[in-house]
Amino acid sequence: MICPIETGVQREAIAALRRALARRVGGWSEYNGRGVWYDDSGARFEETHVRFEVWTQNALQTEQVLTAHNEYGAFAGEQSLARVVNGRASLVPAPPTWPPVKG
């Protein structure tokens, strides 16, 4: 999971993500870095980010990690979330609300 940390709200969301990961799966590896990418028009974007690596034992834990990442995205106001699950990279839309609406 890659989580930008450019703004105060993103840093608050990272703190909430750390708490959620501790509660849901017990641990993770965390790396600070800087990412660069280009959009379709060729505009360059750079941002600092935290990359989380989380190993899970089963499908339930994997779902709990993805839920925590979605909650981070909604809290931080992200438009999309980058993650790799079982070796497959994906960019998924972030949920639109925080806290999540219970159905």
Radius of gyration of the chain (CA): 14
Residue 103 gets which letter from DSSP?
-
Which domains does the chain possess? Answer: 2-93 (3.30.70)
Tokens 């709200």 -> residue? 9
Q: What is the pLDDT of residue 86?
A: 85
pLDDT digits (tens, 9 = 90+) for 22-74: 999 999 999 999 988 888 899 999 999 999 999 988 889 999 999 899 889 88
Q: What is the pLDDT of residue 34?
A: 93
Retrieve residue 13's tokens.
Answer: 């969301």
Q: Is the pLDDT of residue 98 over 60?
A: no
